[in-house]
Amino acid sequence: RPGFLFVALESETVDSTQFGTRIDGRLHIAKAVENGAVAILTDLETVIPSDIDQAIPIIRCDEPRFGLGIVAANFYKNLQPETIALVTGTNGKTSVVHFTTAIWEHLGTKSASIGTLGVKDGFGNLIRDADSGLSVPETVALHAVLSELYLQGRNAISMEATSHALFDFRLSSVNATIAAFTNFTRDHLDFHADMEEYFQIKLRLFKDVVPEGCFAVLNTDMDRYLDVFNVCKARRLKTLTYGKDSDDFKMLSTSQTSYDQTLSFSFDNQNYTVTIPLVGEFQAYNFLCAVAIVHCSGVPLPAILDAASKLKPVEGRMSLVAELTNGSKIFIDYAHTPDGLRAALEATKAITRNRVLLVISCLGDRDKGKRSEMGEVASRLSDCTFVCDGDPGSELPQVIRAAIISKCTTAIEEPDRKIAIQRAIRGLKDDDSLLIVGRGDVRYHLAGSSHETTDRELVLGILSEESIHL
């Protein structure tokens, strides 16, 4: 457009290869100038035609995506909420940002979350849909969202900081005040070369994004904790920790039911006990992470705990969908990594008196190596595993199923997701539990159908069709 800066670079990555391809803006410089661009931002290597080079300013930098963040922040007049918490980690990001904003909102601070589920207010109402394939909006769109939230009077924001977003510098010039790291386990090796590269990209949040003197919230029980802590120490970040080995928010015990859990922890030489409507020890970790984040924003701990009883689980994250008259229960969870599956199955086993049944799928065009690992976890922690199809993307669905089954001795192969869930429900005996994983609350199309559904809707529909009483 006339009078605009043209940013000439390869488009920012999507969060999986299944969502489109990159567009190379460097191929369209001449067209941009023809359309009225008055300056070009690009990398150090791009060759600019001499007539353009002499006609308008060419701004070069080694990381133009980082520069794009600076430009976008200035374009939107650097209007950003006063408190911005960025949450990274393999699992738990969505739950943590949800809990954090809910606590703020219940305490009277207008808030919002940005992540996999889109942009939501502290009550869980959708403000803006998620961009297709992106947990974190592209750089310019993100700064537009932050400006909009600021103008709405939302003073506190909690946002997911995915490795893809960090890789692409999408968080450049976000005025973060708090950074948190939930855990570090295998994922995204379809995108990152290995676990070390994946970890180093995660570390960018603490090395490059948050300024010195800000807060860092760390899980002491996660792999590579000391490496993260040392980076925070070198950058003079004010570190607050949580976990069983923490000297700050120290987890003492949890007592689980199908609907909630009682969590005991200590902080500042005082013991606390709180009942939260969340299932699974991993959710206790997520809750403590959120508590620590809110505390870093200046809220006293007693006030935070008063708001805890009003929390609600994130849809599709260890959600109880139905409890049948024979005492059996049906849960759904997003678990899409080996460690996420382990945590969900252990949570299910802890509240189940009889067998644990599992329905599992893996998405195509993602980290292929984790599929057999998830099959091994399923074999070890479930009594019966139905392996079905998710979204295969460009891959053959039978190849994905075979990878899961290769390490799963309890596997029953049933490609059709609805039939797999139906068979699992029919097999529920007294006091069994069924855990359905891989999709969470994501809407999807069943094979051969144009109708969108969710796992929750499928379960409730099957129960109705089969006249199974709740």
A 10 A CB-CB count for 4 gives: 13
What is the greatest pairwise CA distance in the chain? 79
Res 241: pLDDT: 98
Domains and CATH numbers, the chain: 5-62 (no CATH), 72-308 (3.40.1190.10), 319-465 (3.90.190.20)
Residue range 152-204, pLDDT digits in tens: 999 999 999 998 899 889 999 999 999 999 999 877 766 777 888 989 999 99
Residue range 306-362, pLDDT digits in tens: 998 788 888 888 899 999 999 999 999 988 889 899 999 999 999 999 999 999 999
In the sheet that holds 58-60, the strands lie side by side as 5-7, 39-42, 58-60
**Rounded to the nearest 10 degrees, how much is the dihedral formed by the CA atoms of 131, 132, 134, 137?**
-20
- CA dist 284 and 185 (Å) reads 18
Contact 285, 87 (CB under 8 A): no
Q: What percent of the chain has pLDDT over 70?
A: 96
Res 86: pLDDT: 98
Average pLDDT for 90-94: 90
Residue range 235-257, pLDDT digits in tens: 999 999 999 999 999 999 999 88
Res 466: pLDDT: 78
Instruction: State yes or no: pLDDT of 218 exceeds 70.
Output: yes
Average pLDDT for 102-117: 94
- CA dist 452 and 221 (Å) reads 39
Token pair, residue 114, equals 């940005």
Q: Which of 60-64, 348-352, 428-432 has the lowest mean pLDDT?
A: 60-64
Of the candidates 171, 101, 184, 173, the one whose C-alpha atom is nearest the C-alpha of residue 134 is: 171
Q: How confident is the model at residue 16 (pLDDT cuts 50, 70, 90)?
A: very low
Res 78: pLDDT: 94
Instruction: State yes or no: pLDDT of 20 exceeds 50.
Output: no
Rounded to two decimals, the pTM is 0.87
Burial class of residue 298 (count of CB atoms within 10 Å of its CB; 0-12, 13-18, 19+):
exposed
Instruction: State yes or no: pLDDT of 101 exceeds 80.
Output: yes
- CA dist 46 and 62 (Å) reads 11
Res 22: pLDDT: 62
Q: How confident is the model at residue 207 (pLDDT cuts 50, 70, 90)?
A: very high
Q: Which of 83-87, 143-147, 275-279, 389-393 has the lowest mean pLDDT?
A: 389-393
Res 446: pLDDT: 79
Helix (H, G, I), strand (E, B) or coil at 198: helix
Of the candidates 25, 112, 5, the one whose C-alpha atom is nearest the C-alpha of residue 68 is: 5
In degrees, to the nearest 5, what angle opens at C-alpha 255 toward C-alphas 98 and 178?
A: 30
Instruction: State yes or no: pLDDT of 21 exceeds 60.
Output: no
Instruction: State yes or no: pLDDT of 17 exceeds 70.
Output: no
In degrees, to the nearest 5, what angle opens at C-alpha 115 toward C-alphas 320 and 227?
A: 100
Instruction: State yes or no: pLDDT of 449 exceeds 70.
Output: yes
- CA dist 384 and 188 (Å) reads 27
How many distinct helices (H) and strands (E) make up the chain?
15, 22
Contact 90, 187 (CB under 8 A): yes
Q: How confident is the model at residue 3 (pLDDT cuts 50, 70, 90)?
A: confident
Instruction: State yes or no: pLDDT of 27 exceeds 90.
Output: no
Q: How far apart are the first and last CA of the chain?
A: 59
- The residues near 444 (Cβ < 8 Å, ≥ 6 apart) are 390, 391, 452, 453, 454
Identity (one letter) of the amino acid at 452?
E
H/E stretch holding 287: helix 281-296
Res 19: pLDDT: 42
A 10 A CB-CB count for 320 gives: 15
Contact 115, 94 (CB under 8 A): yes
**Rounded to the nearest 10 degrees, how much is the dihedral formed by the CA atoms of 61, 62, 64, 66?**
-110
- CA dist 256 and 259 (Å) reads 8
Contact 303, 107 (CB under 8 A): yes
In degrees, to the nearest 5, what angle opens at C-alpha 182 toward C-alphas 179 and 188?
A: 105
Res 49: pLDDT: 84
Strand pairing category for 83-88 and 178-181: parallel
> Which residue's entry shows tokens 């300024």?
211
Contact 379, 408 (CB under 8 A): yes
Strand pairing category for 249-256 and 261-267: antiparallel
* Residue 317: φ, ψ to 5°: -115, 95
Contact 374, 91 (CB under 8 A): no
Token pair, residue 333, equals 């969870």
Q: How confident is the model at residue 14 (pLDDT cuts 50, 70, 90)?
A: low
Query: Within a 13 Å sphere around the CA of 58, how many CA atoms are in the beta-carbon half?
Result: 20
Instruction: State yes or no: pLDDT of 18 exceeds 50.
Output: no
Contact 464, 425 (CB under 8 A): no
Token pair, residue 167, equals 């890789």
Of the candidates 23, 57, 53, the one whose C-alpha atom is nearest the C-alpha of residue 41 is: 57
Q: Which of 123-127, 142-146, 147-151, 420-424 has the lowest mean pLDDT?
A: 123-127
Average pLDDT for 100-125: 93
Of the candidates 157, 241, 165, the one whose C-alpha atom is nearest the C-alpha of residue 202 is: 165
Q: Mean pLDDT of all residues in the chain? A: 90
Res 442: pLDDT: 81
Q: How confident is the model at residue 15 (pLDDT cuts 50, 70, 90)?
A: very low
Higher-confidence position of 363 and 158: 158
Average pLDDT for 61-75: 91
* Residue 404: φ, ψ to 5°: -65, -45
- CA dist 470 and 460 (Å) reads 10
